[in-house]
Amino acid sequence: MPEITLHLARDIFDLWERTEQDVSRAALPPPFWAFPWAGGQALARYLLDHPERVAGRTVLDLAAGSGLVAIAAAKAGAAAVTPSETDPLALTAIKLNSDANSVTLEPTLGDVLGGVATGNDLVLVGDAFYERPMAERLLPFLERARASGAVVLVGDPGRAYLPRDRFDAVARYDVPVSRALEDADVKRTTVWRLP
């Protein structure tokens, strides 16, 4: 994505192995923040292509990873963007990447899925329906956010746990991905809206 600069991992397997071996990170998740996942790329592209969907809105980006989607929202004119993450290293990546793109983000560390889902005009999720426990916690939060008036958008490349029957497709993109992560060079990825 030419509009956005990201600091990312060069050697996927080396980083993954090093984080698994580092005892100080034993309780932290794998380095999902070090790669541009397909769902996030599609959602970022959608926001940049449709700035009217985000301009002037308060935005929450769940499972923000590298900050790609949050940065796209800020570049598209969001009034305020809060990338939310549970991994402290992801917050470092978000800070580096937001600085590289000259955007202001208001990151938060912690699990927000059990909390209040109000106060945002737009809730974004890029590629987070990759496992059942995450999906089972994420969907109720998104439904509460939608019920409170937020627009909910999800970028997903066909992960097993996204309940597609609960969403409407708004855009599709062919997204370049790492063969080492996805077993493909390109993933057909959909941006979904919770009606």
Bridge partners of 84, per DSSP, are: 108
28 part of a folded domain:
no
Q: Has residue 47 been placed in a domain?
A: yes
Query: Can you say whether residue 23 is alpha, beta or left, with left for phi > 0 and alpha for psi between -120 and 50 degrees?
Result: alpha
Residues of the chain above pLDDT 90, percent: 73
Average pLDDT in the 9-22 region?
60
What distance in Å separates the CA atoms of residue 99 and residue 105, rounded to the nearest whole number? 9
Q: Return d(Cα 58, Cα 100) in angstroms, integer.
A: 22
Distance CA 153, CA 134 (A): 16
For residue 1, tell me if it sits in a domain: no
What pLDDT, on the 0 to 100 scale, is given for residue 32?
A: 75
Q: What range does the domain containing 39 cover?
A: 34-193
Whole-prediction pTM: 0.89
20 domain-assigned: no
pLDDT tens profile 125-158: 999 999 999 999 999 999 999 999 999 999 999 9
The count of structural domains within the chain is: 1
Q: How far apart are CA 31 and CA 15, in angstroms?
A: 8
Alpha helices of 22-111 — where are they, by DSSP H? Answer: 38-49, 68-75, 88-100
**Whole-angstrom distance, CA of residue 83 vs CA of residue 108:** 6
Confirm whether 163 is domain-assigned. yes
CATH of residue 176: 3.40.50.150
Say what the pLDDT of residue 131 is.
92
- pLDDT of amino acid 20: 58
State the amino acid at position 131 in one-letter form: E
pLDDT by residue (tens digit) across 53-73?
Answer: 999 999 999 999 999 999 999
